[in-house]
């Protein structure tokens, strides 16, 4: 069985590498052609940035495969030798976090290189090493605070319940929903300062926009994203009464108020169409399938790894193969998501009064984020949750 699993993982890695290579070849050719939306100089620069990111992605994929080979050979047995505890729950927690920390240490240099070499070279990174390390420390502390109880609950169900995979799914799925509710009010402020938008015409326009679609929020906030990155963004976070409208300060600075209204109108389109609940349903389906599969792995699989079928092995197996399952479902999710984006664009153009405002906002997002506006069809199929900007502009052009 290990052979079959290894072949599946190898095919997954080979597919990722092939897509990256095709993307690099496509952009290498396109960046020297006729520029689209960007000046010739910025078009070439955006192409180079995309190629650099994809080369880093190739290295990450190779490391991912190396980690997989390590774990399924002697890795789990080596890790087990360092876990000394007679208590099964404690053993599970230490084993799982040993797995997480080891993987994080191996991949950490890639994150540093991406931020302080690639992003720095292209003018995106505004962070410092001190701030980056502080963010990393906060993430680690959050992982422990949130992760330890989760692992304890999962271990309890896996060791005591007959339908442990179903109970485990319900716990994780419930926590995902809970995390969405807490993120804008408790988690995001740990990393960025959120300031209520100052009274003025922009705030009045936004609040009137929210009333038009019946969106009740706990406030409109500006976030100091510029201290880490120069890219533009906005989002609606949370569920229920915890919902917040969050605007990057870079977005407020670069967009005209009516263009910002168009962008928020697009996001409100997702709210009006219930897209966040559709996404949660897709995630729930993926998790259910993963836990069902996990619950029916034969003991032979773990025996071939030289390990017993235990709660810690079940959890790390889930973590090891989740990227493979995600890769399989992403094209389906992408088709749904890209359709939803077109519908949200339509609402954004309606709420702003004219599609030209959203079109101009999209163009500025491409320019300011230095995003190369074209991609290989295979890359779009597997990774794009938003339609290519050219398709969005064309669709908006039909609404005049």
* 122: exposed, middle or buried (Cβ count in 10 Å: 0-12, 13-18, 19+): middle
Phi then psi dihedrals of residue 308, to 5 deg: -85, 155
User: 28 CB contacts (<8 Å, ≥6 apart)?
Assistant: 47, 51
CB 64 within 8 A of CB 327: no
Which residues lie across from 236 on neighbouring strands? 245
Annotated catalytic residue: which of 30, 119, 275, 345?
345
Q: Where are the domains of the chain?
A: 2-192+271-397
Is there a catalytic annotation at residue 267? yes
Label residue 175 left, alpha or beta by phi (over 0 means left) and psi (-120 to 50 means alpha): alpha
Annotated catalytic residue: which of 30, 267, 275, 341?
267
Which residues lie across from 195 on neighbouring strands? 222
- The rounded distance, in Å, linking the Cα atoms of 69 and 17 is 17
Is there a catalytic annotation at residue 74? no
Tell me what pLDDT residue 269 has: 87
- The rounded distance, in Å, linking the Cα atoms of 53 and 294 is 33
Tell me what pLDDT residue 199 has: 67
Strands 220-223 and 244-248: parallel
Tell me what pLDDT residue 277 has: 82
CB 372 within 8 A of CB 49: yes
List helix spans (H) across 296-388: 299-304, 311-352, 355-369, 377-383
Tens of pLDDT along the chain (400 residues)? 788 899 999 999 999 999 999 999 999 999 999 988 888 998 999 999 999 999 999 999 999 999 999 999 989 999 999 888 888 889 999 999 999 999 999 999 999 999 899 988 887 778 889 988 998 898 889 889 889 999 999 999 998 888 999 999 998 998 888 877 777 777 777 887 888 877 678 888 888 888 887 877 777 788 888 887 777 777 776 666 667 778 888 888 888 888 888 888 888 888 888 888 888 888 888 889 989 999 998 888 899 888 888 999 999 999 999 999 889 989 988 999 999 999 999 988 888 888 899 999 888 888 888 789 899 999 999 999 989 998 999 888 754 4
Tell me what pLDDT residue 400 has: 44
Tell me what pLDDT residue 249 has: 85
CB 110 within 8 A of CB 56: yes
Q: What is the pTM of this model?
A: 0.86
The set of long-range contacts for 110-119, using a CB threshold of 8 Å and a minimum separation of 24, is: 110/56, 110/59, 110/60, 110/63, 113/56, 114/53, 114/56, 118/49, 118/52, 118/53, 118/56, 119/229
């Amino acid at each position: 069985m290990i052979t079959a699993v290894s072949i599946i993982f190898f095919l997954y890695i080979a597919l990722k590498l092939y897509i990256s290579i095709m993307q690099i070849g496509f952009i290498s050719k396109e960046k020297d052609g006729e520029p689209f939306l960007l000046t010739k100089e910025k078009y070439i620069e955006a192409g180079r940035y995309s190629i650099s990111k994809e080369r880093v992605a190739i290295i990450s994929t190779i490391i991912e495969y190396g980690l997989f080979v390590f774990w399924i050979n002697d890795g789990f047995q080596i890790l087990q030798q360092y876990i000394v505890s007679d208590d099964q729950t404690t053993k599970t927690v230490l084993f799982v976090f040993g797995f997480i920390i080891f993987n994080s240490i191996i991949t950490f240099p890639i994150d540093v290189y991406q931020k302080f070499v690639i992003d720095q070279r292209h003018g995106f990174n505004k962070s410092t090493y001190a701030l980056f390390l502080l963010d990393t420390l906060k993430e680690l502390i959050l992982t422990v605070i949130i992760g330890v109880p989760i692992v304890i609950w999962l271990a309890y169900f896996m060791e005591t319940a007959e339908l442990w995979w179903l109970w485990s799914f319900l716990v994780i799925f419930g926590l995902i929903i809970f995390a969405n509710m807490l993120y804008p009010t408790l988690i995001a402020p740990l990393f960025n300062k959120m300031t209520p938008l100052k009274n003025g015409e922009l705030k009045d326009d936004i609040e009137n926009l929210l009333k038009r679609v019946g969106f009740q929020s706990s406030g409109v906030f500006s976030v100091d994203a510029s201290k880490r990155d120069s890219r533009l963004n906005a989002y609606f976070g949370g569920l229920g009464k915890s919902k917040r409208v969050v605007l990057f300060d870079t977005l407020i600075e670069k967009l005209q108020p009516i263009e910002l209204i168009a962008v928020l109108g697009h996001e409100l389109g997702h709210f009006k169409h219930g897209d966040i609940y559709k996404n949660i349903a897709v995630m729930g389906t993926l998790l259910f399938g993963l836990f069902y599969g996990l619950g029916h792995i034969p003991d032979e699989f773990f025996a071939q790894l030289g390990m017993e079928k235990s709660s810690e092995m079940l959890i790390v197996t889930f973590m090891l193969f989740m990227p493979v399952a995600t890769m399989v479902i992403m094209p389906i999710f992408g088709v749904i998501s890209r359709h939803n984006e077109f519908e949200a664009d339509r609402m954004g153009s309606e709420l702003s009064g004219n599609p030209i405002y959203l079109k101009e906002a999209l163009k500025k997002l491409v320019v300011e984020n230095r995003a190369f506006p074209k991609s290989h069809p295979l890359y779009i199929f597997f990774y794009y949750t938003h339609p290519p900007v050219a398709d969005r502009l064309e669709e908006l052009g039909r609404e005049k």
